[in-house]
Amino acid sequence: MIHQYKLNGYNIVLDVFSGSVHCVDDLAYDVIEMYENSDKENIIKAMLEKYKDNPEITAEEISDCYDDVTELKDNGKLFTADKYEDLAFDFKKRNTVIKALCLHIAHTCNLNCEYCFASQGKYHGDRALMSFEVGKRAIDFLIENSGSRVNLEVDFFGGEPLMNFDVVKQIVAYARSIEKEKNKNFRFTLTTNGMLVDDDVIEFANKECHNVVLSLDGRKEVHDHLRKTVSGKGSYDIIVPKFQEFVKKRGNKGYYVRGTYTHNNTDFTNDIFHMADLGFTELSMEPVVCSPEDP
């Protein structure tokens, strides 16, 4: 499978099943686009017509380009077959080893983000908090199905997981109490919008969490446009000082500041620069996923 796109003046060709990424000129981009559905002779004819105003594009040049594409294909760098296609069903029948769980510790949230895929944290259902008993069973389930794996990962997610912080602490304490006996090493991640971050949260996370994910969309006007409190006010001024304190005290432990960009800030590189100016060095920006007509 080939995926072609143009970005910032570059022609990018991604060969999905080999993972190869090619940056090519216009001619090669067009030849690759036609390669699977046309023969060499017709491709040369089509390219001569398309580039008839460019004297540098000759039949010989197009032929050489076609041969280069063929060589890449023969070397497994273009038009690579999906060798896993026929194995997908077999994977489902095999004994599965589980290495990680994402625990939706809170199906509720204290923000009202307009683009929230989780329907403001409740996932189109009732608002609810996970009990310690359910969390404990999840840890046991992970251990029971982890086989010989030693390093196991648990992500506290939501909604906003800090709305159920006491249960987070109880689950971590339980996991720590049995990891030596079970020959396991738990790595916890906490994902938070920052509203409930305080000294207790920072101390706990910096002691127990292998990673923390801090949600910030960038510049104040960008962040506050969509990440509002339930009363309709922006959350930027509340969370930024907390995140800065969090990261300052975290030292060399893992974290990243994660932003979501939308139609409102397609210049999101400026949000990346802004977050860097705030002192955050580990950054991730992801697009909201929705239909094109969605605001």
What pLDDT does residue 290 have?
A: 82
SS3 per residue for the chain: CEEEEEECCEEEEEECCCCEEEEECHHHHHHHHHHCCCCHHHHHHHHHHHCCCCCCCCHHHHHHHHHHHHHHHHCCCCCCCCCCHHHHHHHHHCCCCCCEEEEECEECCCECCCCCCCCCCCCCCCCEECCHHHHHHHHHHHHHCCCCCCEEEEEEECCCHHHHHHHHHHHHHHHHHHHHHHCCEEEEEEEECCCCCCHHHHHHHHHHEEEEEEECCCCHHHHHHHCEECCCCECHHHHHHHHHHHHHHHCCCEEEEEEEECHHHCCCHHHHHHHHHCCCCCEEEEECCCCCCCC
Q: What is the pTM for the complete model shown?
A: 0.68
| Percentage, residues of the chain above pLDDT 90 | 80
What pLDDT does residue 256 have?
A: 95
What pLDDT does residue 92 have?
A: 54
How far is 183 from 122, CA to CA, in rounded Å?
Answer: 35
Q: Quote the tokens at residue 244.
A: 């800065």
Task: Cis check for the bond before 159: say yes or no (omega within 30 of 0).
Answer: yes
What pLDDT does residue 114 have?
A: 85
Rg of the chain over Cα atoms, rounded to whole angstroms, equals: 25
How far is 283 from 65, CA to CA, in rounded Å?
Answer: 39
* For range 214-225, the mean pLDDT: 96
* For range 224-241, the mean pLDDT: 94
Distances (CA, A) of 210 to 33, 57, 140, 152, 283: 44, 55, 20, 11, 17
pLDDT tens, residue by residue, 140-150: 999 998 989 99
Whether pLDDT at 31 is above 90? yes
Give the model's confidence band at 246: pLDDT under 50 very low, under 70 low, under 90 confident, else very high. Answer: very high
Distances (CA, A) of 173 to 150, 200, 286: 18, 15, 32
Residue 146: closest CA among 184, 172, 177: 184
What pLDDT does residue 115 have?
A: 86
What pLDDT does residue 87 have?
A: 65
What pLDDT does residue 201 have?
A: 97
Look over the chain and give the mean of its residue pLDDT values, rounded to a whole number: 92
What pLDDT does residue 161 have?
A: 96
What pLDDT does residue 122 have?
A: 58
Whether pLDDT at 101 is above 70? yes
pLDDT tens, residue by residue, 162-194: 999 999 999 999 999 999 999 999 999 999 999
What pLDDT does residue 294 have?
A: 84
pLDDT tens, residue by residue, 43-96: 999 999 999 999 999 999 999 999 999 999 999 999 998 877 776 566 556 667
Whether pLDDT at 243 is above 60? yes
Q: Which of 8-12, 111-115, 234-238 has the lowest mean pLDDT?
A: 111-115
How far is 239 from 281, CA to CA, in rounded Å?
Answer: 17
Half-sphere exposure of 220 (CA within 13 A, CB side): 7
How far is 210 from 155, CA to CA, in rounded Å?
Answer: 10
Give the model's confidence band at 12: pLDDT under 50 very low, under 70 low, under 90 confident, else very high. Answer: very high
How far is 95 from 89, CA to CA, in rounded Å?
Answer: 13
Torsion sign over Cα 113, 119, 125, 131: negative
Distances (CA, A) of 12 to 43, 72, 110, 137: 20, 15, 41, 47
Burial tier of 40 (Cβ tally within 10 Å: 0-12, 13-18, 19+):
middle
